[in-house]
Amino acid sequence: MKLQNLHVDLPETARGRRFDLALLELVGQMSRTRLQTLIQGGKVRLRGEIVTKPGLLLLEGGPVDVDLESSAAVDPDCAAHMRVIHADEHIVVVDKPAGLLTHKNQEAGEPGAAEIAERTHGPFPSSEEEGRRPGVVHRLDRETSGVLVLAKTKEALESLQTAFRERTVTKTYLALVHGDPRFDSEWIDARLGRHERHPDRISVVREEDEGRDALTYYEVRERFRSFALIAVSPKTGRTHQVRVHMSYIALPLVGDTLYKPSRRQLEPMGEGAPVPERQMLHAHALEIPDLAGGPTRRFEAEIPADFAEILTWLRANRALPAT
C-alpha cells in the first residue's frame, strides 16, 4: 500500500503538552481520533523514534513524521453514524458526522459522505467544473457535523448549485464559542482570503482588492460564564467562513485548534469538563428551494452527542445567575 509522508516540526513551546494535542494543531484538518489511531498504530515518529502513546507529555519539540495511507478507508464509525434524513428521486440529505469528509479529497484517498451515500442511492452526477465529486453542491469541513444535501440527478445538481451560488438557500449552524458576545445578534462583514504565511488557513483581509466578500449573521441562543451557544447564518459560502469570522470578533469556536487566537489565553471550561475533540460547529438546518417550484424545503439534524455533552456540562457548571 502506497504511503504518503507528512513532516512537521513541533516547536519548543510544545514542552509539557500532550503529544497528540500539540501535533493536532500542526496537521490541519485531521480529527483527534484519527491522529490517535495513527499514533497507536506506529505511524508517527518523533525525532526518528516511533511514538505509540497519544498522551505522551513532551519534554522537548522536534521533527515529526506521519505516515498517511493514501488509499485509506473511511473510519467505519463515521460511516455507521451517517444518517439519511431524506431521500427522493432528486436529492439525498444526510446528517454528516464529524470526522468524515464531504467528498474524497484525492483520486486514491479516503471516501467521504458523497461516496458513501452513492453506494446505496447512486449513481450521482458530477459537474465538469467540480470534477469527480458525485452529487456535491456544497461542503462541510471534516470536523463539522450536520445537514448535507447531495444531488441524485443532473437537474437537481445544476438547480442546487445555482441556488447556493445565488444565495437563495438558508444555512443555520449552531456553535459553542469562547467569550461573551457584545450583542444578542450581529452582522460580520469582513472579506476573506488565504493567509499570507499559512496557505492552509483563511484569514480576514483588509484590502478591498484582496480576497472575497463574506457576510455572516449570528444570534445568541444561550449565555454561560465566558462561553455562549450561538446560531450562525453565513450569507456567503466561503471556506472556513464561520470559524474565521467568529475568531475575528474574539469569539473563537470551542475546540477549534486551527483558528484559536495566538495572542490570547482562552479560559478553560474547568475541571471535569468534557474535552472537545473537534470544533463545536454543527450544521443544524438547511432550507433549499423546491425543485418543482413548491414551498421552500427545510431539513434539520439534531445536535450530536459530543456537542450535547459539552452543552449539558456548561448548563450545569457555568450557568449565569438568574436576573
Which backbone phi and psi does 132 adopt, to 5 degrees?
Answer: -85, 75
Q: Which strand (E) or helix (H) includes residue 161?
A: helix 154-165
* Pairing, β 83-87 against β 281-288: unpaired
Q: Which residues pair with 193 in a beta bridge?
A: 203
Report whether 301 contacts 85 (CB < 8 A): yes
Q: Which of 108, 187, 93, 85 is nearest to 140 (CA)?
A: 93
pLDDT at residue 128 tops 50: yes
pLDDT tens by residue, 42-65: 788 898 888 888 889 999 889 998
**Strand order in 3-10's β-sheet?**
3-10, 62-69, 44-46, 49-50
Catalytic residue among 141, 180, 290, 306: 141
**Cα(33)–Cα(109) distance, integer angstroms:** 18
Residue 4: all three cell numbers together: 504518503
Its CATH class, for the domain covering 3-69, is: alpha beta
Region 270-284 average pLDDT:
94
> Is 20 among the residues known to form the active site?
no
Q: Residue ranges of the domains in the chain?
A: 3-69, 76-317
pTM of the model: 0.77
| pLDDT score recorded for residue 36 | 79
**DSSP code of residue 253:** B
pLDDT tens by residue, 20-42: 888 888 876 566 777 877 787 77
**Cα(56)–Cα(204) distance, integer angstroms:** 35
In the chain, the amino acid numbered 230 is: I
Comparing 73 with 234, the larger pLDDT belongs to 234
CATH number of the structural domain 76-317: 3.30.2350.10
